[in-house]
Amino acid sequence: MLDLEKYLIQGNNRLEGEVKITGAKNSVLPILAATVISGEKSIISNIPNLKDVKVMTEILKTIGSKVKVEEHRMIIDTNGVNSIDLPEELVREMRSSIILMGALLTRFGEVNVSFPGGCEIGPRPIDLHLKALKQMGAEIKESHGFIHCKTEKLKGADIQLDYPSVGATENIMLAAVKAKGVTVIRNAAREPEIMDLEDYLNKSGAKIKGAGTSIITIEGVERLNGTNHKIIPDRIVAGTIMAGAVMTKGKIIIKDIITEHLQSTIAKLKETGANVIINGNSMMVIGPKNINAIEILQTLPFPGFPTDMQAQFMAMLSIGNGTSIINETVFENRFKHAEELSRMGANIKTFGKVSVVKGVKKLTGAKVYAKDLRGGAALVLAGLVAEGDTEIENIYHINRGYENLDETLRRLGAKISCI
């Protein structure tokens, strides 16, 4: 899907000021999916205004939910959900829609879904999701790009994940909340967004323990109720702003965050020479005069360094002092931004899952293309420090994960416009 809008950035401006962090994209999507299970009314607040949230809202409406959207809040009544067929064109737009599979299977015992779309960052197979659902008693047929799941009654199971996949962990949680018996997920993803989903489900009447650890136990219950829930702040948006402060030698106070979720990002920022001062649920980030290279930056599942911050750090290290090595262990094809940063004068060599970033004195404005969500954010950061003008095309991807990024940056002193 092409977006004709683009960003125009005049470089060499220091970022300074305060910013409040919006709700987490990776938290809101599974929680919106989870509202389907109860068939009742839920009120979800701190919802970010994002493309992906709009797509999920459309999917919910298409299958029969009533959704009232207010400023950063949604009232969702899923009583009228009457379809087990997820709309193909919307599912292909957004990978996270696969999370509705577990929710609809729980509610109706059946679901039809096409293979999901989203960012092109390499294969992200849903085999783990399907294998787990089979263990819980679902019959699964795949044909012509569609998946059909059916079950008489889901049963609790002991599930060992081969990899701590966030999506698979979430889908199993949604499938297990009303399953007969107890489900144990071993090697579960430990991301904060999983904890947020547990929090929402438990408020609705589920019995889940252990989110945030590698073993999650879910005791099936008869029914769930509607509830009120506030989404946690987006740690990736916060991390992106933090990187912007460091790159522009700026000074930014970031509010409404959970610092515990940002520890790996903070640790690596400190390695670059940044000064990070934490005060409760806010922090001040002061960029250093010179950015130190990071000897090795390796992406890992939480609590390791997030793959979703890799691109932004690559942009930052491209103007660092010395050579940094980045090892991307989570996704296979996640260095597409390297080529675009090189157009701006960065010195980056990639070899499979490893990137060698040799810091240069300066980047130069150029016409570049956002190939995925976080890569797009990295190009915005590079544009902020580049000499001259940078034009970023295909900002559709950026809007999928950042609410009005241009406005946020303008308030901090950047010269950026959406044209």
Catalytically active residues are 119
Q: Hey, CA dihedral for 192, 193, 194, 195, is it positive or negative?
A: positive
- The percent of the chain in helix, strand and coil, each rounded to the nearest 5, is 35, 30, 35
**What Rg do the C-alpha atoms of the chain give, in angstroms?**
21
Give the span between the Cα atoms of 6 and 393, in whole angstroms. 5
Distances (CA, A) of 177 to 38, 49, 204, 236, 419: 11, 29, 10, 28, 46
Looking at residue 28, its amino acid is V
> Do residues 159 and 186 lie in contact, with contact meaning Cβ atoms separated by under 8 Å?
yes
Q: 329, 353 in Cβ contact below 8 A? A: yes
What span, in angstroms and rounded, lies between the C-alpha atoms of 238 and 57? Answer: 24
Separation of alpha carbons 337 and 353, rounded Å: 13
Give the list of residues 6+ apart from residue 5 with CB closer than 8 angstroms, or none.
395, 396, 418, 419
Q: Which residues are 148's β-sheet partners?
A: 112, 141
Across-strand partners of 228?
A: 43
Q: Find out whether 74 and 49 touch, Cβ atoms under 8 Å.
A: no
CB 94 within 8 A of CB 301: no
Is residue 298 classed as helix, strand or coil in its secondary structure? strand
Reference 118, options 164, 81, 167; nearest CA is: 167
**Cα separation of 67 and 54, whole Å?**
11
**Cβ atoms of 331 and 121 closer than 8 Å:** yes
207 bridge partner residues: 219
